[in-house]
Amino acid sequence: MSIATDLRRNTRIQLRRAGVWTKARRGDLVGKLLLHERLADPYPLYEQMRTQGTVYRSRTGVHAVTSHELCTKVLRDPAFGRRNDEPARVTAPDGQGPAPDSSFLQEEVSDHMRWRRLVAPAFRPRKIVEYRQRTEEVANRLLDAALAKGDFDLVTDYASPLPITVISELLGLTDIDVELFAHYGLVTGKAIDGVRSARQANEFRTAVRELDALFAGLVRKRRAEPGDDLVSELLRPQGEDALPEREIVGTCQLLLTAGFETTTNLVSNAVLRLRENPEQWEKLVADPGLASAAAEESLRYDPPVQYSIRVVRERFEVADETLLPDTVLMLVIGAANRDPEIFSDPGTFDITRPDAGSHLAFLSGAHYCVGAPLARMEAEVALRVLAERVPDLRVTGPVRRRPTAALRGLLHLPVRA
Protein backbone atom coordinates (compact mmCIF):
# COMPACT_ATOMS: atom_id res chain seq x y z
CA MET A 1 0.00 0.00 0.00
CA SER A 2 1.43 3.40 -0.98
CA ILE A 3 2.39 6.14 1.46
CA ALA A 4 -0.13 8.45 -0.22
CA THR A 5 -2.93 5.92 0.34
CA ASP A 6 -1.94 5.57 3.98
CA LEU A 7 -1.92 9.33 4.41
CA ARG A 8 -5.39 9.69 2.88
CA ARG A 9 -6.75 6.89 5.06
CA ASN A 10 -5.14 8.31 8.15
CA THR A 11 -6.63 11.73 7.40
CA ARG A 12 -10.13 10.25 7.08
CA ILE A 13 -9.69 8.35 10.35
CA GLN A 14 -8.50 11.40 12.24
CA LEU A 15 -11.34 13.54 10.87
CA ARG A 16 -13.87 10.99 12.09
CA ARG A 17 -12.15 10.78 15.47
CA ALA A 18 -12.13 14.56 15.69
CA GLY A 19 -15.89 14.52 15.21
CA VAL A 20 -16.31 11.98 18.02
CA TRP A 21 -13.93 14.01 20.22
CA THR A 22 -16.00 17.15 19.68
CA LYS A 23 -19.19 15.34 20.65
CA ALA A 24 -17.49 13.87 23.73
CA ARG A 25 -16.31 17.33 24.80
CA ARG A 26 -19.93 18.45 24.59
CA GLY A 27 -20.93 15.71 26.99
CA ASP A 28 -21.80 12.80 24.69
CA LEU A 29 -21.39 9.66 26.80
CA VAL A 30 -20.93 7.19 23.93
CA GLY A 31 -18.28 9.52 22.52
CA LYS A 32 -16.45 9.41 25.85
CA LEU A 33 -16.61 5.62 25.85
CA LEU A 34 -15.29 5.31 22.29
CA LEU A 35 -12.43 7.66 23.11
CA HIS A 36 -11.49 5.50 26.13
CA GLU A 37 -11.95 8.30 28.62
CA ARG A 38 -13.19 5.89 31.29
CA LEU A 39 -11.11 2.83 30.39
CA ALA A 40 -10.09 2.11 33.99
CA ASP A 41 -13.66 2.24 35.28
CA PRO A 42 -16.45 2.72 32.72
CA TYR A 43 -19.24 1.75 35.12
CA PRO A 44 -20.06 5.28 36.39
CA LEU A 45 -20.38 6.28 32.73
CA TYR A 46 -22.88 3.48 32.19
CA GLU A 47 -24.89 4.63 35.18
CA GLN A 48 -25.06 8.12 33.68
CA MET A 49 -26.45 6.58 30.50
CA ARG A 50 -28.99 4.60 32.52
CA THR A 51 -30.38 7.70 34.17
CA GLN A 52 -31.13 9.32 30.79
CA GLY A 53 -33.77 6.94 29.50
CA THR A 54 -34.47 3.52 28.07
CA VAL A 55 -32.23 4.32 25.09
CA TYR A 56 -29.42 6.84 25.41
CA ARG A 57 -29.48 8.74 22.11
CA SER A 58 -25.89 9.58 21.30
CA ARG A 59 -24.90 12.18 18.72
CA THR A 60 -22.26 9.75 17.43
CA GLY A 61 -25.08 7.86 15.67
CA VAL A 62 -24.75 4.84 17.98
CA HIS A 63 -27.44 4.75 20.69
CA ALA A 64 -26.76 2.94 23.96
CA VAL A 65 -29.01 0.43 25.75
CA THR A 66 -28.24 -0.26 29.42
CA SER A 67 -31.38 -2.17 30.48
CA HIS A 68 -30.95 -5.92 31.00
CA GLU A 69 -34.51 -6.52 29.83
CA LEU A 70 -34.14 -4.54 26.60
CA CYS A 71 -30.67 -5.92 25.84
CA THR A 72 -32.10 -9.43 26.19
CA LYS A 73 -35.03 -8.54 23.95
CA VAL A 74 -32.79 -7.15 21.22
CA LEU A 75 -30.36 -10.08 21.39
CA ARG A 76 -33.18 -12.58 20.97
CA ASP A 77 -35.22 -10.76 18.34
CA PRO A 78 -34.27 -11.41 14.67
CA ALA A 79 -35.64 -7.96 13.84
CA PHE A 80 -32.24 -6.69 15.01
CA GLY A 81 -29.35 -7.54 12.70
CA ARG A 82 -25.58 -7.87 12.98
CA ARG A 83 -24.27 -7.58 9.41
CA ASN A 84 -21.99 -4.61 8.79
CA ASP A 85 -22.68 -3.20 12.24
CA GLU A 86 -19.26 -2.97 13.86
CA PRO A 87 -18.72 -0.05 16.22
CA ALA A 88 -15.78 0.77 13.92
CA ARG A 89 -18.37 2.55 11.75
CA VAL A 90 -18.16 5.46 14.14
CA THR A 91 -14.40 6.00 13.93
CA ALA A 92 -13.03 4.01 11.01
CA PRO A 93 -12.85 4.86 7.29
CA ASP A 94 -14.92 3.19 4.64
CA GLY A 95 -16.62 0.84 7.08
CA GLN A 96 -13.27 -0.81 7.91
CA GLY A 97 -14.25 -3.43 10.44
CA PRO A 98 -12.36 -5.65 12.83
CA ALA A 99 -13.45 -9.07 11.65
CA PRO A 100 -12.31 -11.19 8.70
CA ASP A 101 -14.88 -11.30 5.91
CA SER A 102 -15.75 -14.90 6.72
CA SER A 103 -16.37 -14.29 10.42
CA PHE A 104 -19.73 -15.72 11.28
CA LEU A 105 -20.11 -13.17 14.03
CA GLN A 106 -21.12 -10.87 11.19
CA GLU A 107 -23.59 -13.24 9.57
CA GLU A 108 -27.35 -13.21 9.88
CA VAL A 109 -29.12 -15.83 11.97
CA SER A 110 -29.81 -18.38 9.21
CA ASP A 111 -26.14 -18.57 8.16
CA HIS A 112 -24.98 -18.42 11.75
CA MET A 113 -27.18 -21.35 12.71
CA ARG A 114 -25.67 -23.44 9.90
CA TRP A 115 -22.26 -22.67 11.31
CA ARG A 116 -23.33 -23.48 14.87
CA ARG A 117 -24.64 -26.90 13.84
CA LEU A 118 -21.20 -27.78 12.53
CA VAL A 119 -19.11 -26.29 15.33
CA ALA A 120 -21.29 -26.99 18.39
CA PRO A 121 -20.30 -30.68 18.78
CA ALA A 122 -16.80 -29.56 19.81
CA PHE A 123 -18.32 -27.80 22.84
CA ARG A 124 -20.81 -30.41 24.06
CA PRO A 125 -20.62 -31.48 27.73
CA ARG A 126 -18.86 -34.76 26.92
CA LYS A 127 -16.13 -32.91 25.03
CA ILE A 128 -15.71 -30.33 27.79
CA VAL A 129 -15.11 -33.20 30.25
CA GLU A 130 -12.39 -34.47 27.92
CA TYR A 131 -10.77 -31.03 27.69
CA ARG A 132 -10.84 -30.55 31.48
CA GLN A 133 -8.02 -32.97 32.26
CA ARG A 134 -5.74 -31.37 29.69
CA THR A 135 -6.68 -27.90 30.97
CA GLU A 136 -5.74 -28.90 34.51
CA GLU A 137 -2.40 -30.25 33.29
CA VAL A 138 -1.61 -27.05 31.40
CA ALA A 139 -2.70 -24.82 34.30
CA ASN A 140 -0.46 -26.63 36.77
CA ARG A 141 2.50 -26.67 34.37
CA LEU A 142 2.16 -22.94 33.72
CA LEU A 143 1.86 -22.19 37.43
CA ASP A 144 4.96 -24.30 38.19
CA ALA A 145 6.96 -22.23 35.71
CA ALA A 146 5.52 -18.96 37.03
CA LEU A 147 6.22 -19.78 40.67
CA ALA A 148 9.82 -20.62 39.81
CA LYS A 149 10.24 -16.94 38.89
CA GLY A 150 9.09 -15.67 42.28
CA ASP A 151 7.34 -12.55 41.03
CA PHE A 152 5.39 -13.20 37.84
CA ASP A 153 2.79 -11.72 35.54
CA LEU A 154 -0.56 -13.40 35.95
CA VAL A 155 -1.63 -12.45 32.41
CA THR A 156 1.40 -13.35 30.31
CA ASP A 157 2.53 -16.31 32.44
CA TYR A 158 -0.85 -17.89 33.19
CA ALA A 159 -4.16 -16.37 32.07
CA SER A 160 -3.13 -15.95 28.42
CA PRO A 161 -1.11 -19.11 27.59
CA LEU A 162 -3.69 -21.38 29.26
CA PRO A 163 -6.62 -20.82 26.84
CA ILE A 164 -4.26 -20.31 23.88
CA THR A 165 -2.83 -23.78 24.46
CA VAL A 166 -6.25 -25.40 24.91
CA ILE A 167 -7.94 -23.85 21.86
CA SER A 168 -4.86 -24.50 19.71
CA GLU A 169 -4.92 -28.18 20.59
CA LEU A 170 -8.65 -28.30 19.89
CA LEU A 171 -7.96 -26.92 16.41
CA GLY A 172 -5.07 -29.31 15.84
CA LEU A 173 -2.24 -26.78 15.96
CA THR A 174 1.14 -27.97 17.21
CA ASP A 175 4.32 -26.13 18.20
CA ILE A 176 2.36 -22.94 18.84
CA ASP A 177 3.99 -19.59 19.52
CA VAL A 178 2.02 -18.33 22.52
CA GLU A 179 3.42 -14.81 22.34
CA LEU A 180 2.60 -14.50 18.64
CA PHE A 181 -0.97 -15.73 19.16
CA ALA A 182 -1.38 -13.31 22.07
CA HIS A 183 -0.24 -10.55 19.70
CA TYR A 184 -2.87 -11.60 17.16
CA GLY A 185 -5.50 -11.43 19.88
CA LEU A 186 -4.41 -7.95 20.92
CA VAL A 187 -4.36 -6.63 17.34
CA THR A 188 -7.79 -8.00 16.41
CA GLY A 189 -9.26 -7.03 19.78
CA LYS A 190 -8.10 -3.41 19.46
CA ALA A 191 -9.78 -3.18 16.05
CA ILE A 192 -13.20 -3.94 17.53
CA ASP A 193 -13.26 -0.40 18.94
CA GLY A 194 -12.59 0.97 15.48
CA VAL A 195 -9.44 1.41 13.42
CA ARG A 196 -7.73 4.56 14.70
CA SER A 197 -4.81 4.94 12.29
CA ALA A 198 -3.48 3.66 8.98
CA ARG A 199 -0.75 1.89 10.94
CA GLN A 200 -3.29 0.01 13.02
CA ALA A 201 -5.22 -0.92 9.86
CA ASN A 202 -2.04 -2.33 8.35
CA GLU A 203 -1.24 -4.27 11.54
CA PHE A 204 -4.71 -5.74 11.45
CA ARG A 205 -4.44 -6.78 7.80
CA THR A 206 -1.03 -8.33 8.44
CA ALA A 207 -2.38 -10.36 11.35
CA VAL A 208 -5.33 -11.57 9.27
CA ARG A 209 -3.07 -12.52 6.36
CA GLU A 210 -0.75 -14.47 8.63
CA LEU A 211 -3.64 -16.28 10.28
CA ASP A 212 -5.11 -16.99 6.83
CA ALA A 213 -1.86 -18.59 5.73
CA LEU A 214 -1.55 -20.58 8.96
CA PHE A 215 -5.02 -22.06 8.78
CA ALA A 216 -5.04 -22.57 5.02
CA GLY A 217 -1.94 -24.71 5.49
CA LEU A 218 -3.58 -26.58 8.36
CA VAL A 219 -6.69 -27.24 6.27
CA ARG A 220 -4.56 -28.66 3.44
CA LYS A 221 -2.69 -30.86 5.90
CA ARG A 222 -5.85 -32.18 7.52
CA ARG A 223 -7.47 -32.80 4.16
CA ALA A 224 -4.57 -35.13 3.36
CA GLU A 225 -4.15 -36.51 6.89
CA PRO A 226 -7.36 -36.24 8.97
CA GLY A 227 -7.09 -36.33 12.73
CA ASP A 228 -9.45 -36.04 15.69
CA ASP A 229 -9.31 -32.24 15.84
CA LEU A 230 -12.03 -29.74 14.97
CA VAL A 231 -10.57 -28.84 11.56
CA SER A 232 -10.67 -32.48 10.50
CA GLU A 233 -14.27 -32.69 11.70
CA LEU A 234 -15.26 -29.62 9.69
CA LEU A 235 -13.68 -31.13 6.56
CA ARG A 236 -15.72 -34.32 6.79
CA PRO A 237 -18.76 -34.47 4.44
CA GLN A 238 -21.72 -32.73 6.07
CA GLY A 239 -24.31 -32.83 3.28
CA GLU A 240 -25.92 -29.49 2.52
CA ASP A 241 -24.38 -27.95 5.64
CA ALA A 242 -20.78 -28.41 4.45
CA LEU A 243 -18.54 -25.37 4.86
CA PRO A 244 -16.40 -24.11 1.97
CA GLU A 245 -12.68 -24.13 2.68
CA ARG A 246 -12.58 -20.33 2.97
CA GLU A 247 -15.25 -20.44 5.67
CA ILE A 248 -13.33 -23.14 7.55
CA VAL A 249 -10.28 -20.88 7.57
CA GLY A 250 -12.44 -18.00 8.84
CA THR A 251 -13.97 -20.25 11.49
CA CYS A 252 -10.50 -21.20 12.71
CA GLN A 253 -9.53 -17.54 12.97
CA LEU A 254 -12.69 -16.75 14.89
CA LEU A 255 -12.35 -19.70 17.28
CA LEU A 256 -8.69 -19.04 17.92
CA THR A 257 -8.94 -15.33 18.73
CA ALA A 258 -12.38 -15.37 20.38
CA GLY A 259 -11.55 -18.70 22.03
CA PHE A 260 -8.67 -17.38 24.09
CA GLU A 261 -9.10 -13.60 24.28
CA THR A 262 -12.34 -13.76 26.25
CA THR A 263 -11.02 -16.39 28.67
CA THR A 264 -7.75 -14.52 29.20
CA ASN A 265 -9.70 -11.43 30.16
CA LEU A 266 -12.16 -13.39 32.29
CA VAL A 267 -9.42 -15.00 34.37
CA SER A 268 -7.35 -11.84 34.81
CA ASN A 269 -10.43 -9.71 35.63
CA ALA A 270 -11.58 -12.29 38.16
CA VAL A 271 -8.22 -12.50 39.93
CA LEU A 272 -7.97 -8.71 40.13
CA ARG A 273 -11.48 -8.38 41.56
CA LEU A 274 -10.87 -11.19 44.04
CA ARG A 275 -7.70 -9.56 45.33
CA GLU A 276 -9.41 -6.15 45.48
CA ASN A 277 -12.02 -7.81 47.72
CA PRO A 278 -9.91 -9.83 50.17
CA GLU A 279 -12.91 -11.38 51.92
CA GLN A 280 -14.02 -12.86 48.59
CA TRP A 281 -10.55 -14.29 47.92
CA GLU A 282 -10.55 -15.80 51.42
CA LYS A 283 -13.90 -17.46 50.69
CA LEU A 284 -12.47 -19.00 47.53
CA VAL A 285 -9.29 -20.19 49.28
CA ALA A 286 -11.38 -21.73 52.07
CA ASP A 287 -13.59 -23.47 49.50
CA PRO A 288 -11.98 -23.83 46.02
CA GLY A 289 -15.25 -25.43 44.95
CA LEU A 290 -16.51 -21.83 44.66
CA ALA A 291 -14.26 -21.29 41.62
CA SER A 292 -17.14 -21.75 39.19
CA ALA A 293 -19.28 -19.26 41.15
CA ALA A 294 -16.36 -16.82 41.27
CA ALA A 295 -16.01 -17.01 37.48
CA GLU A 296 -19.75 -16.45 37.07
CA GLU A 297 -19.77 -13.39 39.33
CA SER A 298 -16.78 -11.97 37.49
CA LEU A 299 -18.65 -12.44 34.21
CA ARG A 300 -21.49 -10.43 35.69
CA TYR A 301 -19.52 -7.78 37.54
CA ASP A 302 -16.69 -7.11 35.07
CA PRO A 303 -17.44 -8.93 31.79
CA PRO A 304 -14.72 -9.42 29.13
CA VAL A 305 -17.11 -8.16 26.43
CA GLN A 306 -18.52 -4.79 27.42
CA TYR A 307 -20.84 -4.11 24.51
CA SER A 308 -22.27 -5.60 21.34
CA ILE A 309 -23.71 -3.78 18.33
CA ARG A 310 -27.06 -4.40 16.65
CA VAL A 311 -28.92 -2.64 13.81
CA VAL A 312 -32.68 -2.09 13.85
CA ARG A 313 -34.24 -3.80 10.81
CA GLU A 314 -37.88 -2.95 11.46
CA ARG A 315 -39.61 -0.08 13.27
CA PHE A 316 -39.57 -0.93 16.97
CA GLU A 317 -41.51 0.57 19.87
CA VAL A 318 -40.12 0.30 23.38
CA ALA A 319 -41.45 2.22 26.39
CA ASP A 320 -41.63 5.84 25.17
CA GLU A 321 -39.05 5.28 22.41
CA THR A 322 -39.49 4.63 18.68
CA LEU A 323 -36.50 3.04 16.95
CA LEU A 324 -36.47 3.43 13.18
CA PRO A 325 -34.85 1.04 10.68
CA ASP A 326 -31.04 1.39 10.41
CA THR A 327 -30.75 2.74 13.94
CA VAL A 328 -27.47 1.43 15.41
CA LEU A 329 -27.71 0.18 19.00
CA MET A 330 -24.85 -0.36 21.40
CA LEU A 331 -26.00 -3.03 23.84
CA VAL A 332 -23.93 -2.17 26.91
CA ILE A 333 -23.49 -5.60 28.49
CA GLY A 334 -21.38 -4.16 31.30
CA ALA A 335 -24.33 -1.97 32.29
CA ALA A 336 -27.03 -4.62 31.80
CA ASN A 337 -25.09 -6.92 34.14
CA ARG A 338 -25.40 -4.30 36.87
CA ASP A 339 -29.05 -3.45 36.26
CA PRO A 340 -30.65 -2.90 39.69
CA GLU A 341 -33.96 -4.14 38.24
CA ILE A 342 -32.37 -7.61 37.96
CA PHE A 343 -29.58 -7.79 40.54
CA SER A 344 -29.73 -6.66 44.14
CA ASP A 345 -26.79 -4.48 45.22
CA PRO A 346 -25.33 -4.83 41.70
CA GLY A 347 -22.20 -2.81 42.43
CA THR A 348 -20.99 -5.34 45.02
CA PHE A 349 -18.70 -8.21 43.98
CA ASP A 350 -20.04 -11.33 45.72
CA ILE A 351 -19.01 -14.84 44.64
CA THR A 352 -21.90 -16.34 46.60
CA ARG A 353 -24.50 -14.32 44.67
CA PRO A 354 -27.28 -16.81 43.78
CA ASP A 355 -28.39 -15.18 40.52
CA ALA A 356 -25.02 -14.22 39.02
CA GLY A 357 -25.69 -16.59 36.13
CA SER A 358 -28.42 -14.26 34.84
CA HIS A 359 -25.71 -12.08 33.27
CA LEU A 360 -25.42 -11.44 29.54
CA ALA A 361 -21.65 -11.81 29.29
CA PHE A 362 -22.03 -14.51 26.63
CA LEU A 363 -24.92 -12.62 24.98
CA SER A 364 -28.24 -14.41 24.39
CA GLY A 365 -30.42 -15.87 21.67
CA ALA A 366 -29.09 -17.15 18.36
CA HIS A 367 -25.69 -15.51 18.92
CA TYR A 368 -25.15 -16.91 22.42
CA CYS A 369 -21.43 -17.72 22.57
CA VAL A 370 -20.93 -21.26 21.26
CA GLY A 371 -17.68 -21.53 23.24
CA ALA A 372 -19.20 -20.49 26.58
CA PRO A 373 -18.93 -24.00 28.10
CA LEU A 374 -15.21 -24.13 27.29
CA ALA A 375 -14.57 -20.62 28.66
CA ARG A 376 -16.45 -21.42 31.86
CA MET A 377 -14.51 -24.65 32.38
CA GLU A 378 -11.14 -23.01 31.72
CA ALA A 379 -11.88 -20.14 34.11
CA GLU A 380 -13.10 -22.52 36.81
CA VAL A 381 -9.94 -24.62 36.52
CA ALA A 382 -7.66 -21.56 36.43
CA LEU A 383 -9.20 -20.01 39.57
CA ARG A 384 -9.39 -23.28 41.49
CA VAL A 385 -5.74 -24.11 40.82
CA LEU A 386 -4.71 -20.65 42.03
CA ALA A 387 -6.83 -20.89 45.18
CA GLU A 388 -5.46 -24.33 46.02
CA ARG A 389 -1.80 -23.71 45.26
CA VAL A 390 -1.16 -20.02 45.95
CA PRO A 391 -3.52 -18.98 48.78
CA ASP A 392 -1.27 -16.00 49.60
CA LEU A 393 -1.32 -14.62 46.04
CA ARG A 394 -1.16 -10.83 46.03
CA VAL A 395 -0.86 -8.04 43.50
CA THR A 396 2.55 -6.37 43.67
CA GLY A 397 2.37 -3.48 41.23
CA PRO A 398 0.20 -1.37 38.96
CA VAL A 399 -1.95 -3.16 36.41
CA ARG A 400 -2.02 -2.30 32.72
CA ARG A 401 -5.31 -2.51 30.88
CA ARG A 402 -5.95 -3.52 27.30
CA PRO A 403 -6.50 -0.35 25.23
CA THR A 404 -10.05 -1.24 24.24
CA ALA A 405 -13.53 -0.33 25.47
CA ALA A 406 -15.37 -3.26 23.87
CA LEU A 407 -13.06 -5.93 25.27
CA ARG A 408 -12.22 -5.41 28.93
CA GLY A 409 -9.14 -7.08 30.31
CA LEU A 410 -5.57 -6.66 31.43
CA LEU A 411 -2.26 -6.60 29.61
CA HIS A 412 -0.22 -7.06 32.78
CA LEU A 413 -1.03 -8.05 36.35
CA PRO A 414 2.15 -8.38 38.47
CA VAL A 415 1.70 -10.82 41.36
CA ARG A 416 3.63 -12.77 43.96
CA ALA A 417 2.69 -16.02 45.67
Average pLDDT over residues 125-130: 92
Determine phi and psi for 26, rounding to 5 degrees.
Answer: -90, 10
pLDDT given at position 13: 59
**CA distances, 258 to each of 43, 105, 367 (Å):** 24, 10, 13
Higher pLDDT, 366 or 85: 366
47 versus 174: the higher-pLDDT residue is 47
State the pLDDT at residue 145. 97
Mean pLDDT, to the nearest integer, of 57-65?
92
Q: What is the mean pLDDT of residues 57-75?
A: 94
Cβ atoms of 310 and 331 within 8 Å: the answer is: yes
Which residues contact residue 82 at a Cβ distance below 8 angstroms, ignoring those fewer than 6 apart?
105, 106, 107, 108, 309, 310, 311, 367
Q: Which three-class secondary structure state does DSSP give residue 301?
A: helix
Check pLDDT > 80 for residue 112. Answer: no
Q: Are 122 and 227 in contact (CB under 8 A)?
A: no
Give me the pLDDT at residue 35, please: 86
Residue 166 sits at the vertex; the CA angle it makes with 151 and 86, to the nearest 5 degrees, is 95
Helix, strand or coil for residue 95? helix
Mean pLDDT value of segment 145-151: 96
Choice among 102-106, 114-118, 301-305, 355-359 with the minimum mean pLDDT: 102-106
Once rounded to an integer, what is the mean pLDDT over residues 373-386?
A: 97
Q: Are the C-beta atoms of 200 and 97 separated by less than 8 Å?
A: no
Asked if 318 and 324 count as a contact pair (C-beta separation under 8 A), the reply is no
Which segments of 148-277 does DSSP mark as H helices, in order?
A: 154, 161-171, 178-191, 198-224, 230-235, 245-276
Residue pair 105/82 in contact by the 8 Å Cβ criterion:
yes
Mean pLDDT of 377-381: 98
Residue 270 has pLDDT above 80, yes or no: yes
Q: What is the DSSP letter of 243?
A: P
Q: Examine the pLDDT at 64 and tell me if it is beyond 50.
A: yes
H/E element, 72: helix 68-76
CA distance 94 to 257: 24
Calculate helix-pair angle for 291-301, 372-389, nearest 10 degrees: 120
- Going by C-alpha positions, the residue among 332, 401, 266, 338 that lies closest to residue 32 is 332
Residue 157: what pLDDT?
A: 97
Structure-model confidence comparison of residues 50 and 204, the more confident one: 50
Residue 100: pLDDT band with limits 50, 70, 90: very low
Q: Which residues of 100-120 are buried (b: 16+ CB within 10 A; e: fewer)?
A: bebbbbbbeeeebebbbebbe
- Where helices occur in 123-177 by DSSP H, the ranges are 125-147, 154, 161-171
pLDDT of res. 203: 87
CATH of the domain at 237: 1.10.630.10
Number of structural domains (the chain) is 1
For 211-246, write each residue's pLDDT tens digit.
989 999 999 999 899 988 888 888 886 666 667 888
**Between 384 and 254, residue with greater pLDDT:** 384
pLDDT of residue 99: 38
CB 75 within 8 A of CB 331: yes
Point out which residues pair with 81 in neighbouring strands: 311
- More confident call, 186 vs 328: 328
Mean pLDDT of 146-167: 96
How much is the pLDDT for 94? 33
Look at residue 15 and tell me whether its pLDDT is greater than 60. no
| Mean pLDDT of all residues in 382-396 | 98
Spatial contact of 139 and 385, defined as CB atoms under 8 Å apart: yes
Band the pLDDT of 7: cuts 50, 70, 90.
low
Say what the pLDDT of residue 8 is. 61
Task: Quickly state the pLDDT bin for 11 (edges 50, 70, 90).
Answer: low
Mean of pLDDT over the chain: 86
> Worst-scoring range by mean pLDDT, 128-142, 188-202, 271-285, 325-339?
188-202
Query: Which of the listed ranges 18-27, 97-106, 125-134 does the model predict with the highest average pLDDT?
Result: 125-134
> Which residues does 393 contact at the CB level (< 8 Å), separation at least 6?
271, 275, 281, 386, 415, 416, 417
What digits encode the pLDDT tens for the residues 324-375?
Answer: 899 999 999 999 999 999 999 999 999 999 999 999 999 998 888 889 999 9
In 10 A of CB 125, how many CB atoms? 9
Residue range(s) defining the domain that contains residue 380 = 3-416
